Amino acid sequence: MRTNILKSGRSAIAAIGFAVAMTYSSMSAFAEAPLYERIGGYKAVAAAVDHLVDNIYKNQTLNKNPTLKAVHDLDERAAFKLVLATWVMENTGGPKIYFGRPMDKAHLPLNITNREFNVILHECLETFYQLGVGQKEIDELMAGLEAQREAVVTAEAPIKPVAAK
């Protein structure tokens, strides 16, 4: 009788274990894919970075910043695209392959203002629209970019705040 109870107990434990495993696998089937996958993986990231960087390099407002203009004139665009693509992949839940410097250190010498950062955000948004990125993903991407403002903006904005009336 004790053997039957042990067998029944083991069967019950096995059944519970199976049920728990099935529950977790079912839950993972309903879990949302990482942003990286939802935007199309490395090919979509590469296309977006290619489009974005070309627009940033030719943006007249950004090129009024002499430091940015000097960087753009070096035309190391291909290297910048590679570094930016790896950053985007890593920061959207893709492979952990970013090899660039920390954002604050990379942007410190560039003297980027809040206005210039806004121009970059505008270029990002235009890129996402151009490539047909969904609104939910755009919202997540833009929130992630906005979270980098403090690290990227390294100069005071040249525009004075509007005085309250």
CATH code of residue 126: 1.10.490.10
Q: Is residue 73 part of a domain?
A: yes
Q: Are residues 18 and 89 in the same domain?
A: no
Number of domains present in the structure of the chain = 2
pTM of the model: 0.76
**Is it the case that residue 111 has pLDDT exceeding 60?**
yes
Q: Are residues 22 and 54 in the same domain?
A: no
The boundaries of the domain holding residue 26 are 1-31
Q: Is residue 92 part of a domain?
A: yes
Gap between the Cα atoms of 77 and 57, Å rounded: 8
Task: Provide the mean pLDDT of the chain.
Answer: 84
Q: Are residues 96 and 56 in the same domain?
A: yes
Please, which contacts does 136-140 make with residues 24 or more away whose CB atoms are closer than 8 Å? 137/35, 137/38, 137/39, 140/35
Q: Is residue 165 part of a domain?
A: no
Task: State residue 31's pLDDT score.
Answer: 85
Contact 35, 92 (CB under 8 A): yes
Q: Is residue 158 part of a domain?
A: no
**Is it the case that residue 56 has pLDDT exceeding 80?**
yes
pLDDT band at 4 (very low <50, low <70, confident <90, very high): low
Q: Is residue 44 part of a domain?
A: yes
Both tokens of 114, joined, read 């809040």
Q: Are residues 25 and 39 in the same domain?
A: no
Using CB atoms within 10 Å of the CB of residue 90, give its burial: 0 to 12 exposed, 13 to 18 middle, 19+ buried. middle
Q: Are residues 96 and 15 in the same domain?
A: no
Q: When comparing pLDDT for 159 and 137, which is higher?
A: 137
Q: Are residues 103 and 148 in the same domain?
A: yes
Interval 71-89 mean pLDDT: 96
Q: Is residue 93 part of a domain?
A: yes
Q: Is residue 49 part of a domain?
A: yes
